[in-house]
Amino acid sequence: MNRPLRHIAIFCGLLVLALLLRANWLQHVDREELAQHERNARVRFERFASPRGDIIVGGKAITGSKETGSTDYQFRRTFKDGPMYAPVTGYASQAQGTSLLERTYDSILSGQDDRFAFRHAKDVLMGQPRRGGDVITTIDAKAQKAAYKGLTDLGARGAVVALDPRTGKVLSLVSTPSYDPGVFAGISFKESDRFKALLDDKSKPLANRPLRETFPPGSTFKILTAAAALEHGVVTDVDARTDAVSPYPLPLSTNRIGSEAGDAVCDKASMKTAMQYSCNNVFLDAAAELGEDRMRETAEKFGFNEDVYSDEFGDMLATKSLYPEKLDKPGTALTGMGQGSLTSTPMQMAMVTAALANDGKLMQPYIVEELRGPDLSTLEKNEPKEMSQAVSAETAKKVQEMMEHTAKEGSAQRALIDGVTVGGKTGTAQRGVNVRDEVPYGWFVSYGKKDDGRSVAVAVFIDPTDMDISRSDISGGRLGAPIAKSVMQAVLGD
C-alpha cells in the first residue's frame, strides 16, 4: 500500500473508532440524561400521557388536567386563576416545557418519581392509569387575591411578597402584568404564537418580578441601615439628635443631597424622626460612618449576596440581591438610603422586614409545605429553618419601634389596621443615570402583628412605567401602602 492510501486508511480507521466510542458513550454514560432531557419527545409524551398531580393552595387545586383526544399528548394542563398564580405554578406546556413549581416538581406531578415505582407496578397489575402526586403550597389564597387585585387595579408593573416572619412560609407571591399558563398549554401553532407574543411583549408578563428581577430598594433599605447602625454602636439612642446636616454633603463630592421633608425637619434629626419623615441625610451619614465592610456584613446577614433558596428548590431559585464590593465613600453613603449600585429583589426586602419583625431572626423562605403521593401519603414535609440571627433582638426591637412610629405618625399611615400592631417604611427609588428623565420606582415594606402571636411581613414593589400618573404622585406610601394593608388584613383577619 502506498503512503497516501495508508494515511487515508488510518484516518478512516480513527473516524470509525471515534464513532464507536461516541456511540458507546451515548448509550452507557449519557443514557440517563438523554432519557430525561426535556427536549426528548418521548419524555414530553410520557409527561402528558396521564393526568398530572395538582398544585394545591388552601386545600384546593389550582391546576388540573383534561383529555385531548390525541394519541401522543393525551392530557393537557389546566389552570384556575392562571394569571394570579402564574408566579407560583409556572407553566406546563406540551410545546414550551415547564417552569417554576411545574418544573421543580415535575417528577412528582407527572408520576415519574422513583418513589412511585411500587405504586405504579400495582396500578399496572390492576389496570389503573398512572397517577401523579400533589404539591401542597404555603400560599394563603386570600392574601394572594388581595395582592393581585391591588396591583391590577393600579394597572402597574409590580410585585408583592408576603412572608410569615416566624416560619419563613411564603404567603403571597404576585407579579404583574401576568399571563395565563393555560393559553399555551397545548402544542398547536396558535398556542405557540401566543407564547411568542408574551415573550415579545414589552411589559414582560412572563417575568417573575418577586424572585427574578432586582431593583434599587430606595428608602425601604433605611430599615437595614438603621439596624446596622444600632448593631455596631454607631447609633445608641434613636431619639437623640444626630450630627447629620441637611442637605447632606456627599463624601468626596460637591453634591449635596436633600430630603422631601425639607431641611428644617431633617437637619440633625434623630434616627426615629429621620425614619418617620424619610430624611436621607441621617442614613447617608450612618452608612458613611459604618463604612462598606460593616454595611455589607449586616446586609449579608439579612440575605444579600446569597441564594435565597437552596438548590433543592430548583426553578424557584431567586436572583441574588447584591450589596456590592469595593465601594468608595460616596458609593457606601448612597447605599444607606438604598441607592447607588445596591440592588434587591422584592423577596429580599420582604426577608429584611420579616427578620426585623421576628426580633432579628431570619427564617429561610419556602413555598412548598408538603409533597404527597397519589395515595395522599406524605413524601416530604418542609419545616422552618433559621438562616441567621441577622441582628440582636434588642436592635430589632429598636427598629420595630421606629417603624411603628412611622406607621402611626409618619409616611406609612395608610397601612394602619385597627387592632393590629403595624410597622412600615415607604420608598421611592431613582433609576437610570438621568434620574429626572426616568420614572422612579415605588416601594413599601411593612409588618403586622396580632396579640395572639400571628404576624405577616409584606414587600410591595411598583414600576409605574405603564401608569397614567404624575411623577409627584409616585410614592410607596401612596401606591404601595394600601396594597400592603389589604394583604396584612387578609392574613390576620378583621
Give the catalytic positions in this structure: 219
Partners of 322 in beta bridges = 343
Indicate the SS3 state at residue 455.
Answer: strand
Instruction: Give the length of the chain.
Output: 494
Are 424 and 445 in contact by the 8 Å Cβ rule? The answer is: yes
Report the C-alpha dihedral over residues 290, 296, 297, 301, rounded to 10 degrees.
130
Task: Give residue for cell 423577596.
Answer: 347
Cα–Cα distance, 315 to 339 (Å, whole number): 29
Neighbours of 421 (CB within 10 A): 17
Indicate the SS3 state at residue 234.
Answer: coil
Cα–Cα distance, 440 to 9 (Å, whole number): 70
Helices marked H in 213-312 — which ranges? 222-231, 263-266, 271-277, 280-301
416-to-400, 408, 424, 429, 479 alpha-carbon distances in Å:
14, 7, 9, 23, 14
Residue 413's nearest CA partner among 475, 334, 343 is: 475
* Residue 466 CA to its chain's centroid (Å): 22
Kindly state the cell numbers that stand for 424.
Answer: 412600615
Helical pair 280-301 and 222-231, crossing angle rounded to 10 deg: 80
136-to-53, 105, 366, 371 alpha-carbon distances in Å:
11, 11, 12, 6
